C-alpha cells in the first residue's frame, strides 16, 4: 500500500483522483487546497491531514519524509490549476515522492525541461494523466490503424457548454489555463498524435476565449478540428435533444465510438502508473508542444482545409 | 417565476439550494463565491452571471434592481459561512430582494435585532431554513404531542464524524461557525423547542472543539443532549457496522424515527417560503438564543441529569 | 469632529487620507483591508476597529448607525482598487455616511448614473479627490486663462517609471484599473478640461499596457498627450539625472510650473469637502467619460497632431 | 555583488531588508507577496521580478538556478509571517540559495532540527536576524560583563502599544506568531542569554493575548520580565509624555542605555552575514526554545520574584 498526498483537493477534478487512489487500494494521508470546503475527504478517510496553505502542507510532507518509513509519502497527486502544475510537481519531487499530475502537465514546453532536470536531481518521477490512451475502444482503434501507413482524413469536433463562471475562473485566463485548445483540447490532440503520428504542420483559423479551430497535418492524417465552450456552437440536433456536449471524431468519414467506458479511466491510469507503466514527461511533451504552437500561431484565413463549422 | 441569486455557491450546502430553486420552477440569474470552482452551476443553467468578488456581485444586483422588472432579483439565497450570514442578508435586502438564509441565521442573537430593523427599513424579509419543521414524520409527532401537557424525558444524541479538515476550516473556528452546538446542533434544538416549548434552564457539562453535551429543561421536556464530530464517540454498534453517523432522539425511551424523508426538505422549505409561509427572524430566534447561551454557559460538573455517553 | 471609516487602509494611497482626516481635526474609528499588515494605523490612533473582511466592517458600521449619535460614522474614505470604488461608495451611503473616494471615482461612466440614484435614495453624497483643482499655481493659471477665449496648444507628457510589480498588480489589469490613461492620467485630463473646457474630439495613436498617447480637441485647446509607466520612455535628460518621473504640461510652448505644493493636496480636498465644497459625481463625470472614450477608441495612424515622443 | 530575492516584500519589516541589501551593495532580483501593493520596490530597482503567488516565484528562482551563473540567486530574505518562516527558508535552500530570515526563525524548536537536516542535504545555510547582538552599546556591555561571574538582578520591561488591528492580524494568532513573548520578546530573551548565559529555570505569572510576564533564572542573572502590547500598561510618566512605547532593561538597578543606534542594525546583520559571520540555526535555538517553554509553561501564582508591574 502506497501513501498519497493530494494538492488541489477542493477542485473539480480531485474526486477522480481520490477515487483512483482508493480503488487501487492505496491510502490518502494528506491534502491541501486554499479553500477549506473539502468535506469530500470524509468519503475516503477520517485520517487525512488537511492544510489550507501550501507552506504548511510542505512542512508536513517534509516531516513525514524524515519520519518512519511507514509514513513516507510515495505519490503526490496534483489537481491544482494548470499554471501551478509544475510548481506542485516540484514540491512532490523535493519531498521524495513521485508526482501524478492532471493534464496538461504544463502550459509551456520549456517547463518540461525544468521538470526533467529535477527528476534527474531527485531520482523521482513525474507522471501525468493521459486517460484516452487507456480507453479500450481507442486502444483497439490504435491497433487496427498500425497495420497500414495510409493517410486519413480526420475531423475532431468538441463542443462542451460552459456558463459565464468559466471565463471568470482561472480556466478563462489563458495565462493560467493555456486557453481552450490546451484546457479542453489537449487530450484529443494527444490522442490524435498517438494514433496518427507526429506533427508536420499547423494552421489556426480562429481563436478566441471561447472557441478555437484549425488544421493539423500529422504523419498519417489530415485533421480539421473545432473546439468550443459556447453552447451556441452546438449542432442543431444536439440543441434539440437538450444535449450540452457534442463530441465527435470521424476517421475517413466514419465516427469513432468512444462515449462508453469513460467512468474509471483515472483509475486505469493510476493502475498503470503504480505498475511502472505510467505516462511520463516524454509522453506529455508532444501535446504540450502542439497546444503551445496552436496558442502562438498566427491566424490563417479560412480555406479548404478548415473545419465545416467554421465555413458556415 | 422568481429570479434568484446565490451567495456562497461554491460551498457544501449550495447544491441543495440550487436544486430547490429549480424544483420550485424558479430561475437562478446570478451567483458569487470567492473560489471559482463552481462548475456545478452548469447543471442548472448556462445563463448565470458569476462573480468571485462580493462587490462585483453587489454591483450586478444593483444594476438589475434599477433595470426592467423582468430582471429584478426577488430572492437571494445565502449559503456562505455562518459568520457572514447577516451581512449577506443585508446585501439581499438592500438590493430589494428577500433573503433565504441557511441555518444558523446568525451566530449571536443581537444580530437578529439588527436584521429586524433593516427588514423594517427596506420592507423586505429574511427567511431561514428550518427544514426539520417540514419533515412529515416530525410534523406528525408534533401533532400527537399537542394533545397533552405531560413532561417528557428526551435524549438527543448526534455524532457525525468529520476528518481533520473540519477543524482547519471556518467550521472549526467558533467565531466563524459558533462551535459544535451551533453548527451541527441548531436544527435539533429548534426541533425540540418546536415540539416541547420554550427553555426554562440550561446546563452544559462538556464543551470542546469536537463535542458538547448538556441538559435543557423545556416547558414539556427534560432533554439530555450530546453532540460530536469525533468518530471515536460513535457507539460500538455503529462502529462495527462502519457507520460514520449516529443520530438518535428518544422520547420517554421510544426512538423517534425520522431517518427517511430527508431528501428534499430544502425544496419543501422553499415551497413554503414562496407560498408566504416561510420561517422568519422570529422563528429563528429561540434556537439562536439557546445555542448562544450554551456557548457562553459555565461548565457544570456531571450530575444525574447528564447524557449517558458523558457518564461513561 | 466627524467620524471617519477607511476602506483599503493597507494600500498605497491610504496614508494620505489618514493624514487628511487627522489634519482636519477628525477621528478615524474603523478601517478595513483584506490584508492585515496595517500597522500604519498606530500612527493615528489606538482605537480604530479593524476588519480584514468587508462583511464584518459593514456589520460594524451598521451597528454604529443604529447606536448613539456620537458614534455615527459621517464619512467613509474609499482607498480600494479602482474597480471596487463604486461598490464601496454604495456601502458608505447605505450605512448613512458620505463617501470620499480616491480617483478615478469609477472606471465606466454608467456606474456614475447608478451612484447618483443611490445618492438620491439615501440623501447622502459621494465626493471624490480631484486634487489638482485645489493646487494654488493651477488655480491661478485657471484664473488667468478665463480672461480670453483663445485656443491654446497644449502638450501633456507624464512618464512615471514602474517596476514589473505594476503589471502583476490590479493596476496592470485594465478591467481593474482602467489602464494607463485612467489610472495615471485621469487627474491631468480632469485638469485640462477644467482649464480649457469640454471635449470636442478624441484621437488615440497608441495604447498598450505601459503607454498611451493621443490627441484631444477641447473648447479652448488642442492637446497632444503621452502617458507611460515605462522608464525607457523617459527623456534622455531625465535619465541622465537619474530621475524616474518626468511630468510636463506646456501651454503654447510655455511650461506650467506646478511641481511644488503637492504635499498636502489631499488635506485641502478634505477641507473643501468638509466645508460643503467637495467635488461630486458631476465633477468627476467628464474625466471618467473621457478616459472611457480613450480606452474604447480605435487606434488612429500617427499624424501631424501626435505627441512628439510618438513621432520619434 | 550578490543577487537577492525577497519573500513577504509587502509586509512591515521588508523595507529594512530591502535597505540592508542595497546598503551592502547588492542586488534585488525577485520578490513575492500575496498582496500586490508593493510599490516600495520602485525605491530600489525597476528590474525586480514580482510574483503574487509563491509557486510562480519558486518557478522563477528554479529557472535562475539553472541559468547563467550571473543570474543565480545567492540569498533569499524571508520577511513573511512567523509561521511560514521555515517553509520559506526551505524554499531558499532548495533553489540553491542561503536564507536570511527575520526573527523568530521558527516558532517551535523542532522545526530547527528539520532546517538543520535540509542545510546538510543542500549544503546551504539558514541565517537569522539577531540585531541586538550587533548593537554597539550592547556589545560593549557584554564585554564588560564577561570579566566577572557575579549574578545580577535584571528587570526587562517592554510595552509597545498596538491598536486593535494587531489582534485581527496574524500577529494576534499564537499559532501564527507564537504570541507576545515570541513576537515582541524574542530579541530581548536572546539578548539576555547572550549577556548572562543559559537558562536554569522559568516561571510564568501571566499570559494573555496582550501581555505576558515571568521570571527567568539565567547562569548569571535573575530576570523579571514584563511584555505588553496594551497601551494601558504604559507607566504614567510615559502616558503623560504621549509616549507609545516604553522599553527598559535594568541591571542591578542601573538602566542599560541602548535607545540610540537602532537605525541600521539590519544592515549590520547583513554585513556580518555576507562576511561569513552570520547568525545561524544554533544561534537562534536558545531563544526559540525559551519562548516555546514560556508559551507552554503553567501559570504560577505571583510571588516575590515577579515583575513590579504585576504586583500592582
ipTM score assigned to the predicted complex = 0.94
Of all residues in chain B, the one with the smallest CA distance to A33 is B165
Contact D87 A59 (CB under 8 A): yes
Cα(D54)–Cα(D7) distance, integer angstroms: 8
Closest Cα partner for C193 from C212, C224, C159, C219? C219
Provide the terminal-to-terminal Cα distance of chain D, rounded to the nearest Å: 55
| Chain D partners within 8 Å of A117 (Cβ) | 66
Low-confidence ranges of chain C (pLDDT < 50): none
**Cis amide linkage into residue A58, ω under 30° from 0:** no
| Chain A partners within 8 Å of D52 (Cβ) | none
* Confidence grade of residue D260 (pLDDT, cut at 50, 70, 90): confident
Probe site for chain A from D52, D56, D58 (most A CB atoms < 10 A)? D58
| Cross-strand partners of B246 | B159
The residue behind cell 452546538 is B181
SS (HEC) of chain A: CCEEEEECCCCCCHHHHHHHHHHCCCEEEEEECCCCCCHHHHHCCCCCEEECCHHHHHHHHHHHHCCCHHHCCCEEEECCCHHHHHHHHHHHHHCCCEEEECCCCCCCCHHHHHHHHHHHHHCCCEEECCHHHHCHHHHHHHHHHHCCCCCEEEEEEEEECCCCHHHHCHHHCHHHHCCHHHHCCHHHHHHHHHHHCCEEEEEEEEECCCEEEEEEEECCEEEEEEEECCHHHCCHHHHHCCCCEEEEEEECCEECCCCCCCCCHHHHHHHHHHCCCCECHHHHHHHHHHHHHHHHCCECCCCCCCCHHHHC
Q: Which of residues 38-57 of A touch D (CB under 8 A)?
A: 53-56
Those residues with Cβ within 8 angstroms of residue B226's Cβ, 6 or more apart along the chain or in another chain: B156, B157, B158, B159, B211, B212, B213, B233, B307, B309, B310
| Chains A and C, touching by 3 or more CB pairs within 8 angstroms | no
Contact call for residues B32 and A168 (beta carbons, < 8 A): no
pLDDT on residue B217: 98
Write b or e for each residue in C62-96: b if 16 or more Cβ atoms lie within 10 A of its Cβ, otherwise e: bebbeeeeeebbbbbbbbbbbbbbbbbbbbbbbbb
* Confidence grade of residue A293 (pLDDT, cut at 50, 70, 90): very high
pLDDT on residue A312: 62
Dihedral angle sign, alpha carbons of residues D113, D118, D121, D124: negative
Instruction: Report residue B22 as a C-alpha cell.
Output: 429549480
Long-range CB pairs of A135-142, under 8 A, 24+ apart, other chains included: A135/A258, A135/A261, A135/A262, A135/A265, A136/A261, A137/A256, A137/A257, A137/A258, A137/A260, A137/A261, A138/A191, A138/A195, A138/A256, A138/A258, A141/A195, A141/A256, A142/A194, A142/A195
For the CA atoms of B129, B132, B133, B139, the dihedral, rounded to the nearest 10 degrees, stands at 160
Q: Decide the pairing of beta strands D211-218 and D221-228.
A: antiparallel
Contact B169 A10 (CB under 8 A): no
Closest Cα of chain B to C55: distance in Å? 6
* Residue among D87, D90, D114 whose CB faces A66 most closely: D114
Contact B46 A170 (CB under 8 A): no
Of all residues in chain C, the one with the smallest CA distance to B84 is C55
Contact call for residues A152 and A196 (beta carbons, < 8 A): yes
pLDDT on residue A257: 85
| Chain C partners within 8 Å of D49 (Cβ) | 164
| Chain B partners within 8 Å of A52 (Cβ) | 168-169
Contact C35 D35 (CB under 8 A): yes
Tens digits of residue pLDDT in B22-55:
999 999 999 999 999 999 999 999 999 999 999 9
Q: Which of residues 112-151 of A touch D (CB under 8 A)?
A: 114, 117-118
Taking every pair of C-alpha atoms in chain B, what is the biggest distance, in angstroms?
Answer: 64
The residue behind cell 490549476 is A81
Residue A242 has pLDDT above 80, yes or no: yes
| Cross-strand partners of B248 | B157
Cα(A264)–Cα(D95) distance, integer angstroms: 38
Tens digits of residue pLDDT in A171-204:
999 999 999 999 999 999 999 999 999 999 999 9
Tens digits of residue pLDDT in B92-113:
999 999 999 999 999 999 999 9
The length of chain D is 312
* Residue among D53, D56, D87 whose CB faces A58 most closely: D87
Cα(D233)–Cα(D214) distance, integer angstroms: 16
Of all residues in chain C, the one with the smallest CA distance to D41 is C163
Instruction: Report residue B67 as a C-alpha cell.
Output: 433595470
Angle in degrees, CA C71, C73, C76, rounded to 5? 155
pLDDT on residue C263: 76
pLDDT on residue A259: 78
Average pLDDT over residues B214-229: 98
* Residue among B54, B56, B86 whose CB faces C54 most closely: B54
Dihedral angle sign, alpha carbons of residues A250, A254, A256, A257: positive
Q: Which domains does chain A have, with CATH numbers?
A: 3-128 (3.40.50.720), 132-260+281-311 (3.30.360.10)
Contact A55 D88 (CB under 8 A): yes
Contact call for residues B4 and B73 (beta carbons, < 8 A): yes
Cα(C71)–Cα(C31) distance, integer angstroms: 15
Dihedral angle sign, alpha carbons of residues C164, C168, C173, C178: negative
Burial class, D49, CB count within 10 angstroms (exposed 0-12 / middle 13-18 / buried 19+) = buried
Distances (CA, A) of A97 to A8, A61, A86: 17, 9, 14
pLDDT on residue A258: 81
Classified as helix, coil or strand, B58 is helix
Of all residues in chain C, the one with the smallest CA distance to B62 is C114
| Chain C partners within 8 Å of D48 (Cβ) | 163-165
Instruction: Report residue C310 as a C-alpha cell.
Output: 510618438
Burial class, D144, CB count within 10 angstroms (exposed 0-12 / middle 13-18 / buried 19+) = exposed
* Confidence grade of residue B312 (pLDDT, cut at 50, 70, 90): low
Tens digits of residue pLDDT in A251-270:
999 999 887 777 789 999 99
DSSP state, residue C279? B
Probe site for chain C from D36, D56, D165 (most C CB atoms < 10 A)? D165
Neighbours of chain A (3+ CB pairs under 8 A): B, D
Q: How many CB atoms lie within 10 A of CB D157?
A: 21
Contact B90 C62 (CB under 8 A): yes
Question: Strand runs (DSSP E) across C219-263, as ranges?
Answer: 221-228, 245-251, 254-255
Contact C48 D163 (CB under 8 A): yes
Tens digits of residue pLDDT in C45-88:
999 999 999 999 999 999 999 999 999 999 999 999 999 999 99
Backbone region of residue B123 per phi and psi (left: phi > 0; alpha: psi in -120 to 50; beta: other values):
left
Question: Strand runs (DSSP E) across chain D, as ranges?
Answer: 3-7, 27-32, 49-51, 75-78, 98-101, 126-128, 152-160, 199-207, 211-218, 221-228, 245-251, 254-255
Neighbours of chain C (3+ CB pairs under 8 A): B, D
Average pLDDT over residues B7-12: 97
Contact C164 D48 (CB under 8 A): yes
| Chain C partners within 8 Å of D41 (Cβ) | 163, 165
pLDDT on residue C312: 61
Amino acid at each position: 500500500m502506497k501513501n498519497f498526498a493530494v494538492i488541489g483537493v477542493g477542485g473539480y477534478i480531485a474526486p477522480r483522483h481520490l477515487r483512483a487512489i482508493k480503488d487501487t487500494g492505496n491510502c490518502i494521508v494528506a491534502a491541501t487546497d486554499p479553500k477549506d470546503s473539502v468535506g469530500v475527504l470524509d468519503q475516503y478517510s477520517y485520517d487525512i491531514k488537511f492544510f489550507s496553505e501550501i507552506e504548511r502542507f510542505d512542512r508536513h510532507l517534509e516531516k513525514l519524509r524524515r519520519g518512519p518509513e511507514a509514513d513516507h509519502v510515495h505519490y503526490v497527486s496534483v489537481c491544482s490549476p494548470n499554471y501551478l502544475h509544475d510548481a506542485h510537481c516540484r514540491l512532490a519531487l523535493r519531498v521524495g515522492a513521485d508526482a501524478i499530475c492532471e493534464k496538461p502537465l504544463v502550459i509551456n514546453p520549456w517547463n518540461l525541461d525544468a521538470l526533467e532536470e529535477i527528476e534527474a536531481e531527485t531520482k523521482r518521477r513525474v507522471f501525468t494523466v493521459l486517460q484516452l490512451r487507456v480507453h479500450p475502444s481507442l486502444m483497439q482503434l490504435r491497433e487496427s490503424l498500425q497495420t497500414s501507413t495510409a493517410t486519413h482524413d480526420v475531423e475532431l469536433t468538441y463542443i462542451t457548454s460552459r456558463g459565464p463562471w468559466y471565463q471568470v475562473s482561472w480556466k478563462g485566463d489563458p495565462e493560467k489555463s493555456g486557453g481552450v485548445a490546451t484546457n479542453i483540447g489537449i487530450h484529443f490532440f494527444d490522442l490524435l498524435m498517438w494514433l496518427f503520428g507526429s506533427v508536420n504542420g499547423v494552421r489556426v483559423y480562429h481563436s478566441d476565449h471561447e472557441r478555437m479551430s484549425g488544421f493539423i497535418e500529422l504523419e498519417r492524417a489530415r485533421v480539421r478540428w473545432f473546439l468550443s465552450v459556447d453552447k451556441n456552437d452546438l449542432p442543431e440536433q444536439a440543441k434539440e435533444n437538450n444535449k450540452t456536449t457534442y463530441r465527435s471524431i470521424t476517421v475517413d468519414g466514419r465516427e469513432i465510438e468512444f462515449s462508453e467506458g469513460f467512468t474509471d479511466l483515472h483509475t486505469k491510469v493510476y493502475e498503470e502508473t503504480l505498475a511502472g507503466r505510467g505516462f511520463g514527461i516524454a509522453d506529455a511533451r508532444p501535446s504540450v508542444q502542439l497546444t503551445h504552437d496552436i496558442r502562438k500561431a498566427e491566424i490563417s484565413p479560412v480555406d479548404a482545409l478548415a473545419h465545416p463549422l467554421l465555413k458556415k
